[in-house]
Every structure is written in structure tokens, then in C-alpha cells.
Amino acid sequence: MSTDFHQKSVSLLSEQLAEKGIDIQELLSKISAFQIAVPSWALGAGGTRFGRFSIGGEPRNLEEKLDDIGLLARLTKKTDAVSLHIPWDIPQDAQAIRQKAAELGISFDAMNSNTFQDYGQSLSYKMGSLSNANAAIRQQAVEHNIQVIEIGKSLGSKGLTVWLADGSNFPGQAHFRKALQWTEESLKSIYSKMPDDWKLLLEYKPYEPNFYHTVIPDWGTSSFLCRQLGGRAKVLVDLGHHLPNTNIEQIVATLMHQGMLAGFHFNDSKFGDDDLSTGSIKPYQLFLIFCELVGGAEENAQAWESISWMIDASHNTKDPIEDLIQALESIAQAYAKALLVDRAKLAQCQVEGDVVGAQEILQDAFLTDVRALVREARVRSGGEDDPLAFYRKEKIREKLIAKRGKNSQASGL
């Protein structure tokens, strides 16, 4: 798109929004300020249980992962943080890594522990980790989490994300209540070792890799556990961790009402925890989620700044950098559209029982083409006007392949 055409689009949109009493400058600064962390495991090709197809030029170590995120940050101006995964990303020299990240304008978002794989530790997690019936295995899993906190401290991170694969595949395999009790005790030990300015983000997931029961299947269980820990433990919503057709926006509202929303793992899904690009399957749902977020923050249910934003996607098909550019763009669009909702009018419709009017308000915002707005915010922040086009024109993947090789493989899933 030419710069001239872009400018015309911005002024048309600006006129359109002014008629609705919306100030475009304020909108632009909100969109620019909104930053989403990128996970270190999203920079290589993801695998499935059937295979993994290398895309070439994948980052071979943590330094190269940071380089890729630095590039994303420079192009999109939509991310300024990385979420690391231990043991996949153990820094050899934390000071040097911290400095490299700072030079790229990248900080360290929540750290992710991993007790869902055997990774050279002495006792196996085959039968679970924080909920294991064997106390020695629980202890080992607790110590791993404490080690992750220590690594995070050395990098300046302020959070620990815990996702448990724990559960059972067959009836009778696990004792539901004991598993929950052990999980609570293990989490308490971890929480007690967390610095005062850290938060614990607890994920839930109804199935996979365990298919009969998971120890933390839903937001209610996660929120129950967080309450046993203390005020700095909150619920993390991963969009793919719901049964089909779950009303995720309502879950978000309910958590905000209790001040219990820790943050997000953004992705999209058709069937389950598909980890597809955010906004690729259900953009309207993403918009409705942002409506609850914007509304909840405006109405002081929970402060916007208290919520953490992260992408959690990894798949087999696209160039991961292109994929992340698309995801960051989709998230920014959903946020921008949610900012357009006339909340006063919506509240009025709710009072009057004007169902048609309420739907019109939401769809009017959703159907507004905000691409020029998101682009303008990015350009004003110093990003590329069209990051994807730039990436392709500059042949960045080809350059990465030349540098890192055709078969380089990122650590991760």
C-alpha cells in the first residue's frame, strides 16, 4: 500500500471515529503502548506426534532466539519481552544474556517451568510431578520450579508460569482429592520461595497429555489453588485450553470480577489446544475477549497493568517469524476494535433490554477496518509500515538459513 493511500485511510477513519466522539490520537497511543511477550519456543518449527518439518535457519541457542525476537520487536513494535522455558533455555551466562537482551530492547517476561518431560533429572514425571503420589518426585518438581525462579531472578523476570501435565489416563489411576492436595502443598512450597514482587501464573487445561482427568482442568480449580497460595497467585487463561464452544469471554469477565486474572496465552484453535496463530480461526471471539478486558479495566474490576500478555503458539506449517508477525497484528486489531465499542450506549441497551441494539454496537466496532490505525501506531513508534512485506522483501529467512544452516533446530517442543 502506498504511503499516500495509507494517509488517506487514516484521515478517513479519523473523521469516521470523530463523529462517534472517539479521539484517534488517544487510540493510537493505547495501541502503541500495548506489548505482547513472545515465547522462546515459538521461533522454531513446532512438532506433532507425527513429525517435525524443519523450516531452516532456526535459532540454535538462546542468543539466536533473542536475535529473532529483537527483529520482531524492531519490525512490529508490538513485543518487548520474551518468555523463557526451562530447561530448554538455560542461560550459560545470565549476565551476558541479560545484556544482550537489553541491547535488543527485550526484557524477560514470566519464566516457564517444565515438569512434563523427563529431561535428565533423576526421578521420572511419567506419573505426574507436583501431584505425584511419591513425595520424592513432588520434591524434585518443587526444586525445579525454585531453580526456575532463581534463573528468572538473575534475568530480571517477575513471574513464574506453571502449567501442569499432571492427571490420569484411566479411572482409578489417581486419587482426585489427594492429587489436588499434593498439588496445593507443592505450589505452596514454590510460592514461598517467590520474591515479593513476583507473580505466579497458574494455567488450567481440561485434557492432554492426560485424557481421563487433569489435576487443574478449569479456571475454578486454578483459582481455588491460587487462593490457597496468596494474593500474587492468579489464573492464566490459555485460549486453547477449553472444551469446544466454551464462553471464554465470560471466564475472563468472571476472573476479572474476582481480581484473579493473571494474564493470557494467546493462540487460536479449531478443536483443542491446537496452538494455531491467534486470530486465524475465531477473530470474533478474540474481539469479544478484548471487549471484556477493556470493559473490566475501565470499570475498575481489574487494572489493565496487572494483566500479562503472551503468545503461546507453535506449529508445523509456517515460518515462525511470519506467524508471529501475523499473531501480533491480529491481537493489536482485536484490541483496537474493542476500544471502539461505545460502552455507554451498550450499557443503555442492556438496561433497556435492547438486544438488537447491543449486538449492533458490538458488530459495528468489530466490522470497522482498523488496519490503517494499527499500521499508523506502528509507524509512529518507529516500526515497519508492513512488517511481513519487509521480511519477505529483505529475504530474512534466506539470510538466516545462510547463517544458521538448513537443518538447524531450535530447542523446544
Spatial separation of the C-alpha atoms in residues 26 and 13, rounded to whole Å: 14
Q: Which is nearer to ligand AOS, 77 or 234 (CB)?
A: 234
Interior/surface letters 277-287, b for 16+ CB within 10 angstroms, e for the rest:
bbbbebbebbb
Q: Which is nearer to ligand AOS, 87 or 105 (CB)?
A: 87
Query: Strand, helix or coil at 59?
Result: coil
Spatial separation of the C-alpha atoms in residues 52 and 410, rounded to whole Å: 12
Q: How far is the CB of 361 from ligand AOS (least distance, A)?
A: 33
Which one of residues 80, 166, 203, 376 is an interface residue with ligand AOS (CB under 6 A)? 203
Spatial separation of the C-alpha atoms in residues 279 and 326, rounded to whole Å: 9
Q: How far is the CB of 220 from Zn ion (least distance, A)?
A: 18
Q: How far is the CB of 49 from Zn ion (least distance, A)?
A: 15
Q: How far is the CB of 37 from ligand AOS (least distance, A)?
A: 12
**Residue 384 binds to ligand AOS (criterion: CB under 6 A):** no
How far are the Cα atoms of 104, 146, 151, 305 from residue 187, in angstroms, in the given order?
34, 10, 18, 25
Interaxial angle between packed helices 3-19 and 24-33, expressed in degrees from 0 to 180 and rounded to the nearest 10: 110
Q: How far is the CB of 68 from ligand AOS (least distance, A)?
A: 17
- Residue window 85-124: x/- pattern of binding to ligand AOS, with contact defined by CB under 6 A: x--------------------------x------------
Strands 213-214 and 167-168 come out as antiparallel
Which one of residues 312, 323, 376, 384 is an interface residue with Zn ion (CB under 5 A)? 312
Q: How many CA atoms lie within 13 A of 116 on its CB side?
A: 18
Contact range with Zn ion by CB under 5 A, out of 111-119, 128-136, 260-268, 276-284: 260-268
Q: Which is nearer to Zn ion, 292 or 312 (CB)?
A: 312
Q: Which is nearer to ligand AOS, 383 or 412 (CB)?
A: 412
Q: How far is the CB of 312 from Zn ion (least distance, A)?
A: 4
Which one of residues 108, 163, 287, 290 is an interface residue with ligand AOS (CB under 6 A)? 163
How far are the Cα atoms of 13, 40, 117, 149, 337 from residue 279, in angstroms, in the given order?
22, 20, 29, 32, 13
**What residues between 217 and 246 interact with Zn ion by CB under 5 A?**
238
- Residue window 261-300: x/- pattern of binding to Zn ion, with contact defined by CB under 5 A: ----x-------x---------------------------
Interior/surface letters 224-258, b for 16+ CB within 10 angstroms, e for the rest:
ebbeebeebbbbbbbbbbbeeeeebbebbbbbbee
Helices and strands, number each (H, E), in the chain: 15, 11
**Residue 273 binds to ligand AOS (criterion: CB under 6 A):** yes
202, 154 contact by CB (below 8 A) = no
Q: How many CB atoms lie within 10 A of CB 311?
A: 24
Assign residue 202 a region (left: φ > 0; alpha: ψ between -120 and 50; beta: otherwise).
beta
Q: How many residues bind Zn ion (CB under 5 A)?
A: 4
Q: Which is nearer to Zn ion, 111 or 346 (CB)?
A: 111
Residues that bind Zn ion (CB under 5 A): 238, 265, 273, 312
Residues that bind ligand AOS (CB under 6 A): 41, 85, 112, 163, 203, 205, 238, 265, 273, 312, 413
